[in-house]
Amino acid sequence: MSFMLMVMETGPRTTNPLTEQARSIAAERMERMRRFGDDLQARGILLAADSLRSDAEGVRVTVRDGKRSLSDGPFTESKEIVGGFFLVAVETREEALALASQCPAAEWSTVEVRQSGPCFDG
């Protein structure tokens, strides 16, 4: 089974310059996340992983009655954004939950666990 561990960040990502202390904390967190991903890969259970840029760079697409509509970010109605993800292949939900508990981001964000399923029947 595959599960997505989504790192849910609260609040907007800042575009303001970070203080030296904030840069140091961010660098340490990124290193911890890199090591976590490397461990998942070494264990042979990592299918994909990536960080996502700020929703300020995102675009939402809808099509209604054949007409496409684009909405540029940031999306003010969003209270959380997906900051990144790990897609893992494990045997059970409990294993996925254990991995989410080991994810460093669980200390400063929320890690949402969702099992993947087929998009289409047939």
Q: Which tokens is 58 given?
A: 């995102």
What is the model's pTM?
0.85
- The CATH architecture of the domain made up of 2-115 is 2-Layer Sandwich (3.30)
Tell me the C-alpha distance between 103 and 97, whole Å.
Answer: 10
What order of strands is seen across the sheet that includes strand 110-115?
Answer: 46-51, 80-89, 2-10, 110-115
Cβ pair 46, 87 in contact under 8 A: yes
Tell me the C-alpha distance between 114 and 22, whole Å.
Answer: 31
Q: What is the pLDDT along the chain (122 residues), one digit of tens a residue?
A: 999 999 998 865 555 667 999 899 999 999 999 999 999 999 999 999 999 988 889 999 999 999 999 999 888 776 788 999 999 999 999 999 999 999 999 999 999 999 998 887 76
Q: What is the DSSP string of 54-107?
A: -GGG-EEEEEETTEEEEEESP-TT-SEEEEEEEEEE-S-HHHHHHHHHH-GGGG
Q: Which residues are registered as beta bridge partners of 9?
A: 81
Sketch the domain layout of the chain as residue ranges.
Answer: 2-115
The H helix count followed by the E strand count for the chain is 2, 6
Q: Which residues are registered as beta bridge partners of 48?
A: 87
